[in-house]
Amino acid sequence: MTLKNSERIVMKRDAFLPVRGLARSGALFSFDERKNVDRLAAKPLRLKFVKGQVGAEGFAVGASIVFAPLLLGDLKVCKTSRPLTMADFQRGVALSEKELHGMHRAVAKKLPDVVSLIFSAQIMMLKDRTLLGAVEALIGRGIAPQEAVRDIVEDYVARFDSMANEYVREKRYDVIDVGRRILANMIGSSELDDRFDGKIVIARELLPSDIMKLSLQNAAGIILLSGGVTAHVAVLARSVNIPLVIANEPRLMNVKNGSCILLDGAMGNISIDPDSDVVRAFRSREASRLDVKRILKTLREETRTKDGVRIVLLANINLLADLAVAKAFKAEGVGLYRSEFPFLLRGDFPSEEEQYVIYRRLVEGMKGREITFRTLDVGGDKMLSYYDGTREANPFLGLRSIRFSLKNRDIFAHQIRAILRAGFDADLRIMFPMISSVDEFVAAREMVAECSRALHLNRRPYQRKPRIGAMIEVPSILAVIEELASTADFLSIGTNDLIQYMLAVDRTNEKVAEFYFPHHPAVLRGIKRVVDAASLYQRDISICGDMAHDPRYIPFFIGIGVRKFSLDASYLPKIQHSVNTIDTRKATLFAADLLTKSSVTETAELFDR
């Protein structure tokens, strides 16, 4: 039995492992544990327990299934009691189309901003006369329909495989999937769409679109062998409420399908074939945490510290589906809308109109409250599958984020116009990601001015006075932060990337997770410098990276003067409760003490105390 999605919303807990554990040893294992694991790896022992990192919190128990892309071998040609005919094939196609349209409608309801991606390629294939005509021609020549489908699908797969463009090559999976669906529908089998229902999916790697498909099939949980906790597939898993644990343990791929797995996405623990007592204990422990009513009762409209200082908690929104949780958990607005998700989950660039529709829903959903749109932040681990130019040797240091927007001015202009139009009546803020120099900020802001002029000439309603700010996530900007603060309307610190670039640690690489120190003195002092610059010019400053999800860091932030945080919505109750226990005077002393420390060990000890 598994938990419902709605129940998982409130199960989020610490996203980071204990700081001391991080500082002393490694994020996944202590040194001694690692030696043990190495020893175990040499023996053919049955895997019982794996410690991983929390990607998306929550708890799930279910049967395991290893996720693998579809292969031609999955095109099983079933035996039937009677020979199949052309009419069976045509019925199979019609039923498949109906099914895909039904699924499309279901997603449109649940995830309106990403719907177009998921089924459109397959629906197009079912309408493709060349493909269908080729199958019909074979059937016409006396080949059995199921053989004809398989032959033509194989033919298409061979053609896709020979393409230079990776995005086109990926279509091989769609055509196999379509073939499977037609074959199943020809013989009236209906086992296609529940492959992952209630299951714990084990995958070596996943694309954002895979996360969406798993969500649609109600997968109970995901174990991912690669990636870091701030990687964007993990961010997406949080938005669709699927617990996800990242574990660099290749033997997980050998776990037999159907094994019982207990996924504790609060601690990052994976138990394989756990005792029934353990499962029972977990279920009862989680039941008390799932008490949404209790949590809502304790939540206040406004957040204050113990000594009454007002703190503003905003929500990070990745998908429009996050809005409901944000509102239920009293977000005072949106501090970071990750606008790239609709771009990531599609087959092509969304038009200005398509973006406008999504952005307008966001604005209406948060009526009257502040909304910060972050402009397109692609590149790194957020590749656009349909944009060839983004394939680079070092994508994290490549043409990404604001650089991409400034180089692709049409795409940038469409987005800015859509934002200005959607926010014509809102407290609208536009924020540029990965600003590395004042010049870059000024160039990006100039684009907003240009778009405003164009909208004015077109006589369309638009926001004339958006506040324009910068994300602080590239270390170079720290050296000119005072100048940037004097120029920008607001600043927001993206700790995920700031840590990654300051410490030269890939945030998506589990092999270096043990070097990813949010508490590194350079990070803490860098953040302090930004907050001081903002205060010097009386600019709004907020924290919007994952450090704000961890109650251990909140006293430090409050102690250096941060009064605004933007969090993934499900963390709002936990952080409000944490703020309520903080005394600002004590927090100031705590932060001052921390800032005198120069080693990772010392800061870790203070945070852990």
> Contact positions toward ligand PEP, by CB under 6 A?
230, 336, 338, 377, 473, 494-497, 544-545
HEC profile for 236-288?
Answer: HHHHCCCCEEECCCHHHHHCCCCCEEEEECCCCEEEECCCHHHHHHHHHHHHH
Of residues 207 through 226, those in contact with Mg ion by CB under 5 A are none
CA dist list (Å): 530 to 10, 438, 474, 482, 561: 32, 14, 12, 8, 11
Task: Please report how close the Cβ of residue 39 comes to Mg ion at its closest, in angstroms.
Answer: 39
494 binds Mg ion (CB under 5 A): yes
420: exposed, middle or buried (Cβ count in 10 Å: 0-12, 13-18, 19+) = buried
Nearest residue to 244 (alpha-carbon basis) of 516, 495, 59, 19:
59
Which of Mg ion, ligand PEP, none does 355 bind, CB closer than 5 to 8 A by kind?
Answer: none
Nearest residue to 558 (alpha-carbon basis) of 548, 567, 545, 568:
548
Interatomic CA distance for residues 83 and 94, integer angstroms = 19
3 state SS of 60: strand
Has 232 been annotated as catalytic? yes
Provide the 8-state DSSP code for 68.
-
Which of ligand PEP, Mg ion, none does 174 bind, CB closer than 5 to 8 A by kind?
Answer: none
Task: Please report how close the Cβ of residue 336 comes to Mg ion at its closest, in angstroms.
Answer: 9
Which of Mg ion, ligand PEP, none does 230 bind, CB closer than 5 to 8 A by kind?
Answer: ligand PEP
Task: Please report how close the Cβ of residue 552 comes to ligand PEP at its closest, in angstroms.
Answer: 17
Find out whether 318 and 235 touch, Cβ atoms under 8 Å: yes
Residue of 7, 264, 332, 497 that binds Mg ion (CB under 5 A): 497
Specify the residue, 145 or 380, whose C-beta has the smaller distance to ligand PEP.
Answer: 380
Where does this chain touch Mg ion (CB under 5 A) — which range of 152-160, 458-466, 486-494, 601-609? 486-494
340 binds Mg ion (CB under 5 A): no
Of residues 575 through 604, those in contact with Mg ion by CB under 5 A are none
Specify the residue, 365 or 398, whose C-beta has the smaller distance to Mg ion.
Answer: 398
Specify the residue, 447 or 544, whose C-beta has the smaller distance to ligand PEP.
Answer: 544
Q: What is the dihedral of CA 225, 231, 234, 239, to 10 degrees?
A: -170
Specify the residue, 62 or 494, whose C-beta has the smaller distance to Mg ion.
Answer: 494
Interatomic CA distance for residues 166 and 576, integer angstroms = 45
Q: Which one of the listed residues 451, 544, 549, 577 is annotated catalytic?
A: 544
Task: Please report how close the Cβ of residue 518 comes to Mg ion at its closest, in angstroms.
Answer: 14
Find out whether 569 and 337 touch, Cβ atoms under 8 Å: no
Q: Which one of the listed residues 101, 232, 414, 549 is annotated catalytic?
A: 232
Interatomic CA distance for residues 578 and 21, integer angstroms = 22
57 binds Mg ion (CB under 5 A): no
Specify the residue, 303 or 508, whose C-beta has the smaller distance to Mg ion.
Answer: 508
H or E segment and range at residue 535: helix 521-536
609 alpha carbon, distance to own chain's centre: 31
**Which tokens belong to 3?**
């938990």
Query: In the beta sheet, which residues pair with residue 54?
Result: 245
**Rg, C-alpha atoms of the chain:** 25
3 state SS of 502: helix
**Which tokens belong to 58?**
């929550």
Task: Please report how close the Cβ of residue 539 comes to ligand PEP at its closest, in angstroms.
Answer: 18
224: exposed, middle or buried (Cβ count in 10 Å: 0-12, 13-18, 19+) = buried
Which of Mg ion, ligand PEP, none does 495 bind, CB closer than 5 to 8 A by kind?
Answer: ligand PEP
Q: What ranges in 276-350 are assigned the alpha helix state H?
A: 276-289, 292-298, 322-328, 341-344
3 state SS of 7: helix
Specify the residue, 370 or 377, whose C-beta has the smaller distance to ligand PEP.
Answer: 377
Specify the residue, 198 or 227, whose C-beta has the smaller distance to ligand PEP.
Answer: 227
CA angle 67, 68, 70 (to 5 degrees): 130
3 state SS of 506: coil
Nearest residue to 566 (alpha-carbon basis) of 538, 547, 590:
547
Specify the residue, 338 or 429, whose C-beta has the smaller distance to ligand PEP.
Answer: 338
Specify the residue, 176 or 470, whose C-beta has the smaller distance to ligand PEP.
Answer: 470
* Window 258-287: contact mask with Mg ion (x via CB under 5 A): ------------------------------
Catalytic residues: 232, 544
The residues that touch Mg ion, with contacts defined as CB under 5 A, are 473, 494, 497
